[in-house]
Amino acid sequence: MVHPGAIPQAGERLAFWLDDGAHGDMQWMRETQERRASPTALWPDARSIILLGMNYGPRSDPLEILTRKSAGNISVYARNRDYHDVIKGRLKLLAQWLAANAGKPEVKVFVDTAPVMEKPLAAAAGLGWQGKHTNLVSREYGSWLFLGSIFTTLELEPDEAETDHCGNCRACLDICPTQAFPAPYRLDARRCISYLTIEHKGHIPREFRAAIGNRIYGCDDCLAICPWNKFAREASEAKLVARDELQEPSLSMLAALDDAAFRELFSGSPVKRIGLQRFLRNVLIALGNSGDATLMPCVHARLADESPLVRAMAVWAAGRLATPGEFEELDISFGLVETDPDVREEWALGALERMGGTGALS
């Protein structure tokens, strides 16, 4: 539990991050800056904030699937039900109990969707500390905690803040495939695979595609490598335990999904919110990184997709998997009739690379 004024530096740090442009195209971060900077700006009547964490520890090492290039890697938190729904239901029950047993104070429940800075608040409440990867680390649960909060008009005794136990360790910084941490405790979302595969709506910059590997929704590298995970426990909440079909889904199966099949497979999952087009964009990048030419038919099938976002990544993937002769034939069949400028550029760059002109772009 903390008082609303427990994180006085958070607003200044948020402003620096936003002014640096590190939020990418997440404009909602800028739009909610004032309310996000201070809990009382969000709700002036709040007198206490109760922070809660729910463990979602994986059953196996999330880094292992990165070596299985024909499978898609979905972030641990998204392999079952949407955590917003799971946690919010629990928080509402607790808030109702609090209101009924403490003189009927006003209460408000928040789980990530409101402009609340849960991580610094949770650190101030003693749940853990913000590690060098900016995420919360717990001595009891490692890096695997969902966070939620209950704002109330009750005056409650605050807990002691947790101290930083990262020491000289920089494992989370060094493992990042795209070097998204310009310094300890600072994240540049524009380079973060989680941001690129989930929040970013456009074409993923070419400089990051190879580094994405087979990560098709989010990235757990900086979380999974943390030494404090030796104390982590497997999630006990059934709705947060990974569904078997989302543990290591084949890229060939995912690439063939239509909208109805996509919605059915990811029903109740946070993956569904990015939509089929962005999802296929990510899957095609993973296909291009697979190094498996037998998967080329999956790519070929998307070269005429109705979405330019999908077609562009299909071209990029084809450039990685097809032989020079095959790519030239595809360019004649598809590239010459392409009308979207971004997709046409992918064809041109792919052809240039095939001629040995700019391999660094791949």
Told to judge if 25 belongs to the known catalytic residues of this protein, a careful annotator would answer no
Q: In this structure, are residues 24 and 200 in contact, taking their beta carbons and an 8 Å threshold?
A: yes
Q: In this structure, are residues 143 and 232 in contact, taking their beta carbons and an 8 Å threshold?
A: yes
Active-site residue among 112, 159, 292, 342? Answer: 112
* φ, ψ of residue 290 in degrees (nearest 5): -70, -30
* Residues contacting 6, CB < 8 A, separation 6+: 49, 121, 124, 125, 158, 161
**CA–CA separation, 9 and 203 (whole Å):** 35
**CA–CA separation, 237 and 240 (whole Å):** 6
Angle ∠(21,148,242) on CA atoms, nearest 5: 90
Write the DSSP string, 45-114: T--EEEEEEEE---SS-TTGGGG-TTB-EE-GGGSSS-HHHHHHHHHHHHHHHHHHHTT---EEEE-SSS
Q: In this structure, are residues 77 and 56 in contact, taking their beta carbons and an 8 Å threshold?
A: yes
* φ, ψ of residue 223 in degrees (nearest 5): -75, -45
Phi-psi region at 229: left, alpha or beta (left = phi > 0; alpha = psi -120 to 50): alpha
Which residues are the active-site residues? 112
